[in-house]
Chain A
Amino acid sequence: MQHSQQRASLPKLDVERFELPNGLVVLLSENHSIPSVSINAIVRTGSRYEIDDKAGLASLAGELLDAGTTSRTSQEIAETVEETGGHLATFGDYQSSGVVLTLLSKDLSLGLDVSSDLLMNSTFPEEKVAQRIDRRVAQIKARLDVPRTQASDVFNEIVFKGTPMHRPAIGYDDTVKKLTREDVETFYRCQYAPNNSILAIAGDIDKQAVKNRIADGFAEWNRSGQFGTTLVSQAQRQTTPIEKFVTVHKEQVNIIIGHVGITRGNPDYYSLLVMDTILGSSPGFTSRIPRILRDEQGLAYSTYSNITASAGLDPGRFIAFIGTAPENLSRAISGLRKEITRIVEEPVTAAELDIAKSYLTGSFVFRFQRNSQIAEFLIEAEVYGLGFDFLEKYPELIRSTTIDDITRVTRKYIDPKTLTTVVVGPVDVIEH
């Protein structure tokens, strides 16, 4: 079988970066493939910066950004964007919050106007806060309908105990109910500051024209010094294995096995990306876990593993997942554990390494097909200091990985003896 060693041509992002006097970082990338633009106006805050008693605050604040500003009601915000055919979303997750807009390019000015309005002038009307809290409480309940989510939540509570990562970003029923308009307002005033934010715009723009509009639109946003003071505790890997079985009456058992992972800034990130591709993160069923547990043994429709997917400012998680019929429970758990142990104890083959590298370098181009993907990449490159020449550097970061690197990083970052195993499903009716 042959495969191409040619380098697929990558898009030229031609990124322009500058800072406004108030500290707002602006990133622009121009292309004219289709007449649309993506605007990602991101604040570097999230549930990472909230306390347990206020769990869900950052997420609620992010969702409420479009609930009203000093000059527009929530309905006017929605109509302003939707009248153009554009799409607006606001959010708050673990380490980022803000506004994501997709528009036809003729409506760019309006998009900038709405973005700056939401980040600078949101008013959080009392009635809207109460309404969204009620909705949040219902959404928290609805999570119990998705056993995979439930398994993930239980896993995080165990593995990230004592750190902000243990909480679901959406919060808990009892903490969300107690949140107030003042909590949201205070969080917004402290955290949503230009010197804590990044504005990325990708697509059919004229960079020079856009620059002036940005300077005008965001100039009156005042610097703040109140954010980012929280010292975030980092998760430590547990020293003994933990097992947790949760009974819910569903057709499948959902199983997550793993422990604390790595940060995005970890220098071994790229070797672990190659390792992920060999162990359990390939598309299709080439990597070990999907090939063996799904394609050969027929145990599951969905099974995979990864450590790099959740790497962020804080260590993410190393996990292996499988959803299977209850009668397969012990086979599924031992199958996952066997593959985790094998990749730590035995070197991967040269062929496996070669396939993984070919895949990672060849597929990189697909991360830059849409303007929204490009805008997301600009943010990622800024937050982690990847450099805007990352597209050129990436292939070499992957190609330089050796079998010894894989052995070294699996031994360093994966410990088959201290895994947490979480099972959610009809476990009361099966023997284990």
Chain B
Amino acid sequence: MKTITTSTDAAIATSTQAGSFLTRNVQKMVLPNGLTVLTKQLHDKPVVATMVWYRVGSRNEELGQTGKSHFLEHMLFKGTDRYKKGEIDLVTHLNGGANNAFTWLDFTAYYFTFASDRWQSALEIEASRMRDTTFADEEFASEKQVVEEELRIGLDGPWEALENEVWATAFRQHSYHWPTVGWLEDLEAASGAEMKAYYDKWYHPGNAILVIVGNFETAEAVARVEELFGNIPAGPPTSPLRVVEPAQRGEKRLTVKKATPVERLFIGYHAPAVGEPDSYALKVVETLLATGKSSRLYQRLVEKDKSVTKADASYHDHIDPSLFYLQAELQPGFELRNVEGAIYEEIERLKRSEVSSAEMEKVKRQFEASLVIGSEEPLQQAMLLGQYETIAVSEHIPEDSRGFRYLDTLLDRINAVGIQDIARVAQKYLTDSNRTVGYLIDDVEQERDRAA
């Protein structure tokens, strides 16, 4: 990264440079057992981030068994043949490191950060728990309670309640229908044996990506990786999952009632998968609508109409087509339908190409700067490399943008988006028939019943 510039006044980061600073010096290798290994030396900070990504998330689950991927993530901290219960955290702690994990629709990922003089404990732990996690019955039972409490935190959150309902309504056939944490009833019914079978199905070198970013020497690191992971059997092949959501033919609307002093709005549009040509223009739309106080939704809803306390747009990269969604939290005294209408007016402006070239330039700079500033830490870089190596795998993605190479071309493709592309994707995706609209309103009846 140092080679980009060291001068305060130099023009930094033409798109190509900024695009490739993330991938510069990344080395990729695949062990004979199928484990993909990405390494990137960064010597300006005395730390190393180590991640393992598994290509399994709630997308891979089945009805009646939802939430398994996330539950499994919890079990991977409970001990292995080599590390007794509590020892994974203890080793992390003794070495002044940090560890955590997260599960989402398409993946489950684990990470450690350590000072660079002691980072290899991360490799030892990950190698051990890839196949040798123990599933003691008593551990399973107590961790099930922990996961249920995590799920209850979500049930208490107004946004989570509304978001879950919109996704469940927008996707009726595809497994993006259920939230990653699963349905509480499925979780309550889960058994240790089912969890072990799920682990045996998905946790193998061939379904995993190891990412190491930071202050280490590649040859030494690779030798240690081969030593620790090389003997793990390849495991059964995993066939690519084919789940398809049929096109939506008409608007869907829903209401969630919950005791709340503030009403909320959530609008989801079906939108393309990671790496599809139109996805880049929609990323520009996302930034244009909602990044910063000069953004369209802030200026319209917060500043002009004064009808919301906050408004946001989000569009995340996923393996399969997902949702481009808009959220607003209402100022008391304003009507949900009016705020909804104002949002549609802003979308219509995009369809009419009412975007200035100065605004396009601003949005592209915001996109680029957030990528640079958001990659200061080795862990942040490991997150990006691992995420795209895991999800940008479809055959529809051009080869020069597949896997972590997605980051090579990302900024070029963003910069190639024109005003007419904005209008085109708005006309194609942000339409009445393609949307699911959710309202969260106060549950007055429930409160009255309780009071009675």
Contact = CB atoms under 8 A, between A and B. Distances in A.
B143 interface: yes
A299 interface: yes
Contact of B142 (A82, A205, A298): A298
Given A6-B118, A106-B8, A249 B95 contact: no
Interface of B: 1-2, 4-13, 44-47, 77, 85-100, 113, 115-118, 141-150, 152-153, 155-158, 259-262, 291-295, 299, 302-303, 306, 309, 329-332, 358, 361-362, 365-370, 372-373, 375-378, 446-447, 450
Given A3-B91, A134-B306, A204-B6, A34 B96 contact: no
A33 B376 contact: yes
Contact of B93 (A75, A145, A358): A358
B95 A82 contact: no
A78 B96 contact: no
Nearest to B84: A1
Nearest to B10: A106
B376 A370 contact: yes
Tell me what chain B mostly uses at the interface: helix, strand, loop, or mixed: mixed
Given A145-B158, A294-B146, A364-B96, A325 B331 contact: no
B361 to A, nearest CB: 8
7 tightest A-B CB contacts, nearest first? A362-B96, A85-B369, A8-B115, A284-B89, A298-B145, A298-B142, A3-B94
Nearest to B21: A34
Contacts of A159: none
Contacts of B95: 3-4, 358, 362
A134 B450 contact: no
Contacts of A32: 2, 6
Given A8-B96, A361-B96, A82 B149 contact: no
A144 interface: yes
Interface in A281-313: 282-286, 291, 294-302
B332 A141 contact: yes
B365 A83 contact: yes
A147 interface: yes
Contact of B47 (A66, A74, A369): A369
Nearest to A33: B44
A206 interface: yes
Given A249-B447, A250-B156, A365 B47 contact: yes
Given A301-B150, A325-B152, A365-B47, A283 B12 contact: no
A35 B91 CA distance: 35
Contacts of A409: none
Contacts of A363: 96-98
Nearest to A83: B362
A28 to B, nearest CB: 12
Most buried by A among B93, B141, B150, B259: B93
A369 B302 CA distance: 34
Given A145-B262, A365-B46, A285 B306 contact: no
30 contacts: A1-B90, A3-B95, A4-B95, A11-B46, A33-B1, A82-B294, A105-B5, A106-B8, A106-B11, A135-B331, A138-B331, A142-B261, A142-B329, A145-B262, A147-B156, A204-B5, A251-B152, A251-B153, A251-B155, A252-B152, A285-B89, A297-B142, A298-B141, A299-B149, A323-B153, A355-B94, A362-B97, A363-B97, A364-B96, A365-B46
